[in-house]
A and B are shown apart, each in its own frame.
Chain A
Amino acid sequence: MIDVNLLIKPPPVVRWWIVTRTVALVAALAVAGVSTFTGLQEMRLLEASTAEQQALAESFRKVSRRLPEAQARVRAAEKAAAELARIARNQASGQAAVLDLLRPHAGGVWLTEVLFEDAEVMVSGRSDSFAKANAYLLGLRTLQEFEAVAEVELTTTSGGETFFTYLVRLPEEVDAQ
Chain B
Amino acid sequence: MKSGHEQHLLWVLLILVLAVAPTCLFGQLNQPRAEALAEAEQQAALERQKAQAVREAEIDLERLASVAAVPADRLVGEKPFADMEQALRQVAGAAGIGIERLTMLSAEAVEAVPGLVQYEAEVRLRGSYDQFLAFLRGLEGHRLLVEIPDVVLDLPSDGRDELTPSLTLHFYRQTATEPDAE
Interface residue ranges, A against B (CB under 8 Å): 17, 21, 24-25, 27-29, 31-32, 35-36, 38-40, 42-43, 46-47, 49-50, 53-54, 56-57, 60-61, 63-64, 66-67, 70-71, 73-74, 76-85, 87-88, 90-96, 99-100, 103, 110-117, 126
Contacts and interface: CB of A to CB of B under 8 A. Distances in A.
28 contacts: A31-B18, A32-B19, A35-B23, A36-B26, A39-B22, A42-B30, A43-B30, A49-B37, A50-B33, A54-B44, A57-B44, A57-B47, A60-B44, A60-B47, A60-B48, A63-B50, A78-B64, A79-B112, A80-B114, A83-B112, A87-B172, A91-B140, A91-B142, A96-B133, A96-B134, A110-B153, A111-B153, A112-B153
B155 A112 contact: yes
A74 B148 contact: no
B50 A90 contact: no
Interface string B31-55: 0011011001101101110110111
Contacts of A63: 50-51, 54-55
Contacts of A50: 33, 36-37, 40
Interface string B1-29: 00000001001101110110111011101
A32 B69 CA distance: 71
Nearest to A33: B22
A83 B47 contact: no
A113 B153 contact: yes
Contacts of A74: 57, 60-61, 64
B113 A54 contact: no
Contacts, number: 194
A91 B145 CA distance: 7
B2 to A, nearest CB: 14
Given A21-B11, A87-B170, A40 B153 contact: no
B37 A110 contact: no
Interface residues of B, number: 71
B154 interface: yes
Contact of A83 (B34, B50, B54, B113): B113
A115 B12 CA distance: 102
A73 B149 CA distance: 29
A109 to B, nearest CB: 11
Given A84-B70, A96-B133, A67 B15 contact: no
